[in-house]
Amino acid sequence: MNAAGRAGALSIRNAGKIYDPEGLHVVALEDVSFDTQPGEFCVVVGPSGCGKTTLLNSIAGFDRLTSGEILLDGGVLARPGKPPLPGSDRMVVFQQGALFPWKTVLWNVTCGPIKQGRLGKKTAEVEARGLLARVGLKGIEDQYPGSLSGGMKRRVEIVRALMNEPKVLLLDEPFRALDALTKSVVQEFLLELFDEAPKTIFFITHDIEEAIFLADMVVVMTTRPGRVLKTIAIDIDRPRDYRVLTSERFVRLEREVREAIHDEARKAFEAGERELA
């Protein structure tokens, strides 16, 4: 999977982010460093408010860092003073979903490549229909997103991102709002797509089981200020399905992650209590 020369090597070096440095001085990220190989599925777990989303937004070009830098295949994505710049090489799947409700599913998934002039309308539509069918969504092309279920929307959104052939796919707790059964189905679709054409994935969650099930590498972050506590390689063979969830190796890894994160979750909880008090 780590074929040399394939695009999508993400390198985060001493990344730091301070909100409101003169006033409240909230340290969201502090000295975060890790690398992903091209085609690696990297999952970041951590308690709420640990800066996971800040990190993702900095990669996506929605937010700027206050120290350190983020590189993609050697090119600088983010560093202090550099204006944030989103691009189709880093597509984001949002927590609450961001399909355009006023356009049909087909328009939503084809608008990127057509706009960028990478594909003609016809080719894009053929490709989109193929990908949608691939994730079990045949025949919904002309519907509006509002008429789809949560699980369907998430799949459409993943298809929309993949249509742009991004170097990195960024997912910000994409399955948070789904019920447990729908979630496991959508996770399996994502894994199937990943196994067919591995590309670098940067996935945020606070669901430990989800993290291990999907990842090649799990990055555990601390509560504010967000730092990397531990990176854990997930050496479970692919393709994976629900059966690995009960395997001995899975349970052992789950315990390892849980032990790492437990104290942090408690700290975050107590900090939250203090903020409320």
Partner 1 sequence: MVDFPTRRRGIAGWISYSLRLELLLGVISIGTIGLLWEFARPLGIPVFSNLPPLSEIIQTSTQLLVSDQYWDGWALSVQRITAGFLLAQLIGVPIGLFMAMHRASFETAFPIVEILRPIPPVAWIPISILFWPTRELSVIFIVFLGAFWIVLLNTIGGASNVDPNHRRAALSLGSTPRDMFWRIILPATIPSIVTGMAVGIGIAWEMVVAAEMVAGRTGLGYLLWQSFEVNAIAQCIICMISIGFAGFVSSQIVRLFGSYVAPWQRQR
Report the interface residues with partner 1, using CB under 8 A.
60-62, 86-88, 90-92, 94, 96-98, 100-103, 111-112, 115-116, 144-147, 164
Which residues make Cβ contacts (< 8 Å) with residue 265, sequence separation at least 6? 47, 223
Q: How far is the CB of 227 from partner 1 (least distance, A)?
A: 26
SS3 state at 204: strand
Six token digits for residue 7: 């695009």
Closest CB to partner 1 among residues 67, 104 = 104
Q: How far is the CB of 218 from partner 1 (least distance, A)?
A: 25
Any long-range contacts for 26-31 (C-beta under 8 Å, 24+ apart)? Answer: 26/224, 27/224, 27/225, 28/54, 28/224, 28/225, 28/226, 29/54, 29/55, 29/65, 29/225, 29/226, 29/227, 30/225, 30/226, 30/227, 31/68, 31/227
Closest CB to partner 1 among residues 34, 94 = 94
Q: How far is the CB of 260 from partner 1 (least distance, A)?
A: 30
Closest CB to partner 1 among residues 87, 272 = 87
Closest CB to partner 1 among residues 22, 142 = 142
Please tell me the distance from the alpha carbon of residue 112 to that of residue 14, in angstroms, as a whole number. 32
Question: Between the CA of residue 5 and those of 9, 247, 277, what are the distances in Å?
Answer: 9, 34, 53
Nearest to 96 by CA among 42, 149, 58, 150: 150
How many residues make up the chain in this entry? 277
Q: How far is the CB of 75 from partner 1 (least distance, A)?
A: 16
Closest CB to partner 1 among residues 110, 222 = 110
Q: How far is the CB of 219 from partner 1 (least distance, A)?
A: 23
Closest CB to partner 1 among residues 48, 88 = 88
Closest CB to partner 1 among residues 2, 147 = 147
CA 227 to chain centre: 18
Q: How far is the CB of 217 from partner 1 (least distance, A)?
A: 24
Closest CB to partner 1 among residues 56, 137 = 56
Q: How far is the CB of 63 from partner 1 (least distance, A)?
A: 10
Amino acid at 240: R
Q: How far is the CB of 140 from partner 1 (least distance, A)?
A: 14
